[in-house]
Amino acid sequence: MKKPTATTGLKWDEPLLWEKGQSGRSAFSLPARDVEQFAVESGMEGKGPDFPDLSEPEVVRHYTRLSQWNYGIDAGLYPLGSCTMKYNPKINEAIAALPGFASPHPLLPEQFCQGTLRVMAELERFLAEITGLDAVSLQPAAGAQGELAGMLLIQAYHQARGDSRTKLLVPDTAHGTNPASASLCGYQPVAVASNDQGILSAETVAEFMDEQTAGIMVTNPNTLGLFEENIMAIAEIVHEKGGQVYCDGANMNALFGRVDMRKMGVDVLHLNLHKTFSTPHGGGGPGAGPVCVKQHLEKYLPVPRLMEKQGRFSWSSDAPDSIGRMHGFYGNFGVMVKACCYILSMGAENLQKVSELAVLNANYLKERLKQTLYLPYDRLCMHECVFTDKNQAECHVNTLDIAKRMIDYGFHPPTIYFPLVVQGALMTEPTETETRETLDAYIAAVEAIAKEARTEPELLRQAPTVSRLRRLDETTAARNPCLSG
């Protein structure tokens, strides 16, 4: 790629709707009232919501203009590592929007929603089969809540045995939410360093594991994109001391159809239905983070549990050992419908192929770019690969400069400065849904930027140059976010 491909377009500074409205305008019309006006009792009236008065074109143009500010998966490659931003079939969105799925109220009596309950029951069965575990709760509404549910299950298990453990092992290659989830349950997270191969060694885990440790939270593949190949030996060490093995399944896109979590020694695992099983991630949700467990943890799963008797489905809260509710109702049903559609439409053979292609694409990028960007762990990766800015440091160009310049070349930047164990990290996850041509274009852009770093480094330091906004004050944005426009 010889020159940046992104360009400036016709985009507007868009004010808030409240700043645009003019009294008396309306975006809708209602039929004339055909009943007599009736005054409500005093005290029943309120001022009503503070909605702006707008015409229909004003509303449509407002949201269309806002949409043009965004870069989404429908616009191009979205290579955020550790976050699986893959393209998902639109048919799943259409099916989830069918009135029979989108309209039922969660308080509808069970006899009137047997179809929706069947979808949930079948999804539980699919996820159990895919993971190799025994029981599933769909209730957690996000990956982090799935983590918390998993920690509560482990805590309930130990408490039922009269075992008051205080610590939990968290590798330095785990997702950032892992230690927070452990802390919320009162456990002291204990950091475990990965070895020079970027993975956990059984010997290191053995040094930390004792009878006061409730278990270990392993992200597999880890956030370096590497498979924790010692996981079975590690699980054996943890189990010998009475601990439990939790697996963060956010990176399942690299494994499903290929790995049996039970045989790996995992006791509890959460999945991100969004991202992995068809719901585009980003924009704040909704998500879904089901937990899957071995049989000895099933009685602690959140209530209500979905039960089947003679082909009829019902909810049951008759579970005295349960950790209780994790959600007001039953989870985010629309995400479940899309996941169910995805699994059914792919089938076992194609789910396996997803993993194979995700891993193949990541390794293709790794091999093609490792002469351009520094590769700290030069070994077979899973669905993502981690480079650094070490080769560009002598040009006084850093990871942030490279990422910002990617915008000028028409690509969303990869994840940067994560995982924390790699200085100046650039983590790329191409996913299985990108074509060879797209990957080659991405590689060409990175190579062109690396050349610019040597010959015209100021181009990188000033990037992005064609976006609507230039480089932002990210520190202020993080510490003093303005969320009201």
HEC states along the chain?
A: CCCCCCCCCCCCCCCCHHHHCCCCCCCCCCCCCCCCCCCCCCCCCCCCCCCCCCCHHHHHHHHHHHHCCCCCCCCCCCCECCCCCCCCCHHHHHHHCCHHHHCCCCCCCHHHCHHHHHHHHHHHHHHHHHHCCCEEECCCCCHHHHHHHHHHHHHHHHHHCCCCCCEEEEECCCCCHHHHHHHHCCCEEEEECCCCCCCCCHHHHHHHCCCCEEEEEEECCCCCCCCCCCHHHHHHHHHHCCCEEEEEECCHHHCCCCCCHHHHCCCEEEECHHHHCCCCCCCCCCCCCCEEECHHHHHHCCCCEEEEECCEEEEECCCCCCCCCCCCCCCCHHHHHHHHHHHHHHHHHHHHHHHHHHHHHHHHHHHHHCCCCECCCCCCCCCCEEEECHHHHHHCCCHHHHHHHHHHCCCCCCEECCCCCCCCEEEECCCCCCCHHHHHHHHHHHHHHHHHHHHCHHHHHHCCCCCCCCCCCHHHHHHCCCCCC
Per-residue CA distances from 329 to 108, 173, 215, 333, 468 (Å): 11, 34, 30, 10, 41
Which pLDDT value is given to residue 71? 86
Angle at 166 (CA atoms; ends 296, 155), nearest 5 degrees: 25
The mean pLDDT value of the chain amounts to: 93
pLDDT in the model for residue 135: 98
For the record, the structure tokens of 187 come out as 């456990």
Structure confidence at residue 176 (pLDDT): 86
Nearest CA among 7, 9, 12 for reference residue 66: 12
According to the model, what pLDDT value does residue 484 have? 63
pLDDT-wise least confident of 200-214, 271-285, 290-304: 271-285
Please check whether the two domains, 91-345 and 348-471, share a CATH topology: no
Q: What is the CATH number of domain 91-345?
A: 3.40.640.10
Give the integer Cα–Cα distance in Å for 8 and 21: 29
Percent of the chain with pLDDT strictly greater than 70: 99
At 337, the pLDDT band (50, 70, 90 cuts) reads very high
Residue 284's pLDDT is 64
327 neighbors 140 (Cβ within 8 angstroms): yes
Strands 312-316 and 213-219: unpaired
**Predicted local confidence at residue 482, as pLDDT:** 77
- In the structure, what pLDDT confidence band is assigned to residue 74 with cuts at 50, 70 and 90? confident
For residue 283, name the pLDDT band (cuts at 50, 70, 90): low
Tell me the per-residue pLDDT of 138-179, one tens digit each, with 9 for 90 and over.
Answer: 999 999 999 999 999 999 999 999 999 999 999 999 988 999
426 pLDDT above the threshold of 80: yes
Whether residue 29 is predicted with pLDDT greater than 90 in this model: the reply is: no
- Band of residue 425 on the pLDDT scale cut at 50, 70, 90: very high
- Asked if residues 261 and 241 have their Cβ atoms less than 8 Å apart, the reply is no
Question: pLDDT band for position 46 (50/70/90)?
Answer: confident
| Mean pLDDT computed over 304-333 | 95
Residue 200: predicted pLDDT = 97
Q: Map tokens 């009943």 to a residue.
A: 35
d(CA 334, CA 324): 23
Q: Is pLDDT above 60 for 267? A: yes
Query: What pLDDT is stored for residue 18 in this prediction?
Result: 87
For residues 478-485, give the mean pLDDT: 76
Residues 238-260 have pLDDT tens digits of 999 999 999 999 999 999 989 99
Please give the pLDDT value at position 414: 96
pLDDT of residue 429: 96
Which is it for strands 291-293 and 268-271: parallel, antiparallel or unpaired? antiparallel
Mean pLDDT over 231-236 rounds to: 98
Is residue 66 packed enough to be buried (19+ CB in 10 Å), middle (13-18) or exposed (0-12)? Answer: exposed
Distance CA 242, CA 199 (A): 23
Cα–Cα distance for residue pair 332/141, rounded to 1 Å: 6
Q: Where are the domains of the chain?
A: 91-345, 348-471
pTM tops 0.85, yes or no = yes
For residue 40, pLDDT over 80 is answered with yes
pLDDT of residue 137: 97
Architecture of domain 348-471: Alpha-Beta Complex (3.90)
pLDDT digits (tens, 9 = 90+) for 368-402: 999 999 999 999 999 999 999 999 999 999 999 99
Q: Would you state the pLDDT for residue 318?
A: 96
